[in-house]
Structure 1
């Protein structure tokens, strides 16, 4: 197999017209250049240069390899430029997993800002519900995932970057006796029928159950729903009350009442999950995390 580096040395000799001139241009010694050409001739099995006065000129085989070396040189230069752009975060591809309510609140504004500042980086969005995206991050199959901080800690090699705290609000039917209060104690809802709004497995439901336990009761769910819009519909129909995070109330219905909750206030923490070493190695990913922080701050 022909050595690419030696072909580039041959091209330098041919374009310079002599071994000495090529050595000066390359920063090599003349003997080192001659050794490279000799080794390439051995690989090719034919002479590549012939002497002409004090210089050299290529044989037919040498001219052929020189032309191919020129193509290789252009590809190498293009590869170096592409690599520099990737290292600087000007190009690349990032995969982001998100869940629905975080998508509505964060993904749109963050991605718009990121695309404005980094138009050469492609971002592929994938909805992660209902699968846990942390294993994908851990294995390097996903660059970043928006998640609710799990109660039981992190996976090895995964770092969570806090974006925002998302408090839950009580959602009541219009005309409900508790709707007259501006702020509810969570214990006020202890004896109410409850409409479930969260996936039965996952950190969001854990936030609700833990808060209710701290208030001294366990909610009595009479109907389950895994999306906030449907949960609001059940509440509006008078089937029960519900707790829904603030970001899930962007499509708030006009036939329900929303009230703050305290003692305690349930809050889910939304984070960006990335591999421990990824942001330091990927400038584009660092910039994307920054765009999500800015979106969360607003």
Structure 2
């Protein structure tokens, strides 16, 4: 098998025209260069150089290997440049998983902000619920996931969570509801109402149920929609009241009113999740920064 380093020595000899000149340029002794060329000739099974006075010139085999050595040198240089770009975060690929209501108001502007600074980094976006996104992240199928997580479940599993924002829930009532005249509702005001569910079982629903438990009741869900737009439709039809996070109220149904609630304020906490074992990646760090900056500008705040 041909040794690439010896091929590069051959190239230096052919370029300089003599073993002595190549040795001087490379900081070797002439005898060391000659020994390596001799080994390369044994590997090739052919003579690679012939003497011409004080110098040498390549044989046909020597010219052939010299051409390949030049091509290898160019590829190595290209590889070094590509690695430098990757280390600096100028190129690369990031796979991101996010949930639906985070897409338009958080992920889209953050990725646009990131691309202005990193135009050659490809960001692959895919919708996924936290129950799917976190296992995929742990298995290396994604580099970053936007998830809702309870603050008391942020340790272990090899995942590092970065807090982005607290998305407050608001009460959604039919127009003309007896509570619609109040600007701010006590959460307990809704205890005896029929409820329209807006969440799948998981951390978002847990945030609603925990807040209601703190207010001294458990909501009675007459309708399960598990979708914010559909939940508003059921509320508009007079089938109950609902709690919907602010990020889920981008398109409000014209026949509902939205009111703030307190004591307590139900909140779902949104995090960016990455693997603790992920190597340092400037591009990933840049995307996290863009997400934090975008989250800071959200009406819900941090």
Q: Does 1:90 align with 2:105?
A: no
The aligned residue for residue 76 of structure 2 is 76
- What are the residue-to-residue correspondences of 1:105-254 with 2, within 5 Å? 105-129=105-129, 131-150=131-150, 152-200=153-201, 202-254=202-254
Aligned residues of 1:134 and 1:155 also touching (Cα < 8 A): no
Q: Does 1:9 align with 2:9?
A: yes
| Mapped partners of 2:196, 2:29: distance in 1 | 81
Aligned residues of 2:154 and 2:160 also touching (Cα < 8 A): no
SS at match of 1:7: helix
The aligned residue for residue 290 of structure 1 is 289
Aligned residues of 1:158 and 1:275 also touching (Cα < 8 A): yes
Q: What do residues 197-239 of structure 1 show as CA deviations (whole Å, max 9, x unaligned)?
A: 0012x11011001111111111100011121000000100000
Q: What do residues 1-41 of structure 1 show as CA deviations (whole Å, max 9, x unaligned)?
A: 21112111111110011112112222333233222212211
1:59 Cα shift? 1.1
1:42 Cα shift? 1.4
Stretches of structure 2 lacking an aligned partner (at least 5 in a row): 298-302
| Number of equivalences | 296
Stretches of structure 1 lacking an aligned partner (at least 5 in a row): none
| Mapped partners of 2:164, 2:153: distance in 1 | 19
TM-score by structure 1 length?
A: 0.96
1:127 Cα shift? 0.3
| Mapped partners of 1:104, 1:88: distance in 2 | 29
| Mapped partners of 1:113, 1:225: distance in 2 | 34
The aligned residue for residue 300 of structure 2 is none
TM-score by structure 2 length?
A: 0.95
The aligned residue for residue 34 of structure 1 is 34
| Mapped partners of 1:127, 1:59: distance in 2 | 61
- Name which of structure 1's ranges 185-194 and 21-30 shifts more when overlaid on structure 2: 21-30
Aligned residues of 2:130 and 2:148 also touching (Cα < 8 A): no
Report runs of 4+ in structure 1 exceeding 6 Å deviation.
none
| Mapped partners of 1:129, 1:156: distance in 2 | 18
| Mapped partners of 1:24, 1:193: distance in 2 | 89
1:284 Cα shift? 0.5
1:130 Cα shift? 6.9
